[in-house]
Structure 1
Amino acid sequence: MNTSDNQFDIVISGAGAIGLISALLLAPHGVKIALIDPKPLKVLTKVDDTRNIALMQSSLNLLKHLGIFDAFYKLSRPLEKLRIVDATNRLLRAPEVEFTAQELGLNYFALNVPMGAILKTLAAQLPQHKNVNCLFGTQITDIKQQADQLDFTLANGKNISGKLLIGADGRNSFARQSASIKTTTKKYPQIALGFAFKHTRDLGNISVEFHRRNGPFTLIPMQNLNDGSQTSLVWSETAEKSEQIKDLPKNELAALIEKITQGIVGKVTEIGYIAAFPLTNINSETYAKSRTILVGEAAHILPPIGAQGMNLGFQDAAIATELVIDAFNMNADIGSDDIMKKYNQQRKLDIHARGKATDMLNVSLMSNFLPMQMARGLGLFALQKSTNLRTSIMKKALSPLGVTPKSML
């Protein structure tokens, strides 16, 4: 292991959830790590982030592997069922479908966790690991590739080096750009609105997804408050309609939510800050190249359908770190072309398959093409009737396709 203050085995760019989980997976194995993020720690761990993330079973297994599952569980809401309701109001209406964790022999298939709590809980583990050097409040401005390492220039003027770069720096990834990795982008004519709201009728541990013409309207129950129930909503609409919704007086927006949800939430009593982001499907042409491994949104961005994004990122981190640790323990080059090739092979199927699935579902909701509507309806009808088909779909949704890393078993 390197001893110089400026030499590291691994440099991680980005200390969001995926960067943090990568550092925590690597740290117990004696790897010298530099964790870099332009935001100061107190900004990174602000707990007023209104987003909520449904962490699936494989991600929960990862938290158990790290010994921090209990810290997450007490802040979360278990999700036992997923109900899909066709609210397209088209001539061919698909049947209602319900997926239950019980059909898989599980108590719940996911935990709905506040994003702020995820960041704060993960960051709280860092002081335990003296081999993780946190360089917050600065960022990488230049990367030069040498024969056996990467040399980094930071915005604060510091120069460091590492055998491997893990790019966890989001959709505008500098790590990806520096490695000359191209992306393909599909833009949808929709904006996703995300916010939390309080209401009078509890959903139980049931997530409800209304399939509407302009995209899904997904309710994910949150941990209840002393003064009532609260739910996280992800609402996909056309760009024009989303602006109109954001501008509505809160009482009118509350009434609209009550109407769309068909009374299942009771009265909406309070609405939180509304975040908006364009729906896109972005995929990197390769996920590892030139001593650089991409994880999370640096590698791929999916529409917010089926809670795939964060869980895919956790899978990226688990597979990348497992490959790196195995090589490190054998005194092999952790940034070798062989490691790059293995990571690409192990992630390609999973990422591509989930990207295609979310794209097809989103397009089918918006399409007025009758055969596509029929295909979607028949698919949901088959799911309603077949327990085996439902359980097969759930198993694929909850765990990586292809290789499952040991930390997620």
Structure 2
Amino acid sequence: MDRADVIILGGGLVGLTTAIALDRHGLSSIVIDPADPELTLAPAHDGRATAVSSSSWRMLEAIGVGAKLEGEGCPIRSIRVSEGLEPGGIVFDPEEGDDALGTMFENRRLRQVLRETAAEAKNIQLLMPASAADVVRDGNGVRVALHDSRLVSAPLLIAAEGRNSPTREAAAIPMARWSYDHHAIVLTITHEYDHENVAYEIFYPSGPFAILPMLPGTRSAIVWSVSAADAAAIVDLPDRAIAAEIEKRMGGFLGKIQIAGRRWSYPLGFHHAATITGQRLALVGDAAHGIHPIAGQGLNLGFRDAAAIAQVLVEGARLGLDLGDAQLLSRYEQWRSLDTFMVAAATDGLTRIYGVPGRAASAIRRFGMGIVQRIGPLRAQLMAEARGETGDMPLLLRGLPI
């Protein structure tokens, strides 16, 4: 039976980041994932791109991943939010010398670098593809029997399996969950004019429309929220037709556009676990919470989970504690519960507010944006939230070792 300090079920972005953060501080992990790495790293697997917040980027640098991504991401220097193409709105511009509001990376490239880093780590054992046939969590520890008859054990199980986490379901953890009846259409475009490192969030009655700058300066990622009923038809439009629809929603401010690759469609929903811990169990990432991409915080919440659980476990190990100890897990629960709840509530609220149709609702939203634009401290607080730089930040998010 192979033993480690932690077993991580799920080898996606958050699961691998957690394993690498633990490895950098001397704790071992066994990462189990049913997906074939060759398939998950293929260009056709995932078309999404993520705005990695400045605090998440500091963590990636601190655990040795940032250096491998240096120069590949596109910094976001400004964010412009508007109600349709109406004048006004909110402009988020950092002060001179401040960090960028985020850095855009393709998810596939993030996954590739994390996979390579984990494969090189001396304290990480990757079992991919592999899946758990039976999981036992009790007072003696965690034991996982794999479908190929291998056995692994550890004091703690971390579930990083995503939105449909079977470990969370098996633990009977209550969930708040609903669908938004919308799909996010994701694709990449090239455009005539340089984006100048500006991200745009344009709110339409049918849903938000985001333009996210990528390298080089005439390439951007589109995240377009449409009704579930229309998603399939829009995805199947010819390139010229979908380019014309996108250009119309952009108001032409980036000039002529072209579609640069295939399209993906992802259903949108909300879920939030009532608790993120159980007996010798901790949930991280989408296993614990899933939110609307309206504010681009989904993966960053998962990175904050990884930073917090790593610090709790590393500090516990230094004190000689059992890593599955209920008091250690309680610290993780308390540390992350408020942040995840507040971000989840805020994104859900924004989704509902901007989904209200009618001119009166639109006028009220524009009025609210005008207030935010005029109140500098409020705007600065929102920028800090976007960077993940509020509250009691784990050391890794500050760029510091644990």
> TM-score, normalization: structure 1?
0.92
Candidates 90, 94, 103, aligned match of 1:111: 103
- Offset at 1:299? 0.6
Counterpart AA for 2:29: I
1:50 corresponds to: 47
Matched-pair contact (CA < 8 Å) for 2:183–2:228: yes
Do residues 130 (structure 1) and 122 (structure 2) align?
Answer: yes
- Paired with 1:13 and 1:188, the residues of 2 have a C-alpha distance of 28
Matched, 1:333 2:325: no
Among 63, 68, 73, which residue is 1:66 paired with?
A: 63
Q: Specify which of 154, 158, 171 is matched with residue 162 of structure 1.
A: 154
* Correspondent of 1:204 among 196, 201, 218: 196
**Structure 2: distance between partners of 1:190 and 1:61:** 33
Write out per-residue CA displacement over residues 12-61 of structure 1, whole angstroms, 9 at most, x where no aligned residue.
Answer: 11111101100100012332211111123333333553211100111011
Q: Counterpart amino acid of 1:64?
A: E
Matched residues in 2 for 1:284 and 1:383: separation? 31
Percent of paired sites with the same residue:
28
Distance in 2 separating the partners of 1:159 and 1:94: 61
Where 1:78 maps in the other structure, the secondary structure is strand
Match status 1:237 vs 2:226: yes
SS at match of 2:163: coil
Q: Is the 8 A contact 2:187 2:264 kept in 1?
A: yes
Counterparts of 1:94 and 1:199 in 2: how far apart (Å)? 22
Among residues 254, 261, 264, which one is paired with 1:275 in the alignment?
264
Instruction: Measure how far apart 1:375 and its partner are.
Output: 4.7
1:392 paired residue among 381, 397, 400: 381
Conserved 8 A contact 2:235-2:264: no
Q: Which residue of 2 aligns with 1:403?
A: 392
Task: Say which is worse superposed, 20-29 or 5-14, in terms of deviation.
Answer: 5-14
Instruction: Map residues 175-324 of structure 1 onto 2, 5 A cutoff.
Output: 175-224=167-216, 229-324=218-313
Is structure 2 residue 23 aligned with structure 1 residue 27?
yes
The aligned residue for residue 354 of structure 1 is: 343
Matched letter for residue 353 of structure 2: S
Task: Report the RMSD for the aligned CA atoms in angstroms.
Answer: 1.9
Would you say 1:78 and 2:67 are equivalent positions?
A: no
Find the aligned partners of 1:371 and 1:268 in 2 and give their Cα distance.
Answer: 33
3-state secondary structure, aligned to 2:296: coil
Q: Is the 8 A contact 1:175 1:292 kept in 2?
A: no
CA deviations 1:319-338 (Å, max 9, x no partner) are: 01110111111110111111
Mean Cα deviation higher: 236-245 or 190-199 = 236-245
| Alpha-carbon offset, residue 259 of structure 1 | 1.0
Cα pair 1:142 1:154 within 8 Å, conserved: yes
Q: C-alpha offsets along residues 222-281 of structure 1, whole Å, 9 cap, x if unaligned?
A: 111xxx721101001111232331222211111111111011221122242211122111
Q: Secondary structure of 2:308's partner?
A: helix
Whole-angstrom CA distance in 1 between matches of 2:360 and 2:124: 55
SS at match of 1:62: helix
> 1:137 is paired with a residue of what secondary structure?
coil
State how far apart, in whole Å, the 1-side matches of 2:127 and 2:54 are. 32
| Contact 1:194/1:234 (8 A) holds in 2 | yes
Is 2:133 aligned against 1:144? no
Q: Does structure 1 conserve the Cα–Cα contact (< 8 Å) formed by 2:138 and 2:279?
A: no
**Could you report, residue by residue, the CA deviation over 1:36-90 in whole angstroms, capped at 9, with x for unpaired residues?**
11123333333553211100111011012113323223111111000012118xx
Residue 98 of structure 1 is matched in structure 2 by 91
Secondary structure of 1:82 counterpart: strand
Q: What is the rounded CA distance, in whole Å, between the counterparts of 1:375 and 1:402 in structure 2?
A: 30
**Counterparts of 2:243 and 2:192, CA distance in 1:** 12
**Range with greater deviation from structure 2 (240-249 or 326-335):** 240-249
Q: For the Cα contact (< 8 Å) 1:185–1:283, is it kept in 2?
A: yes
Cα drift, residue 392 of structure 1: 1.2
Give the secondary-structure state (helix, strand or coil) at the position aligned to 2:60.
Answer: helix
Could you say if the C-alpha distance between residues 240 and 94 of structure 1 is closer, same or farther in structure 2, counting changes exceeding 3 Å?
farther
Distance 1:29 1:60 in 2: 18
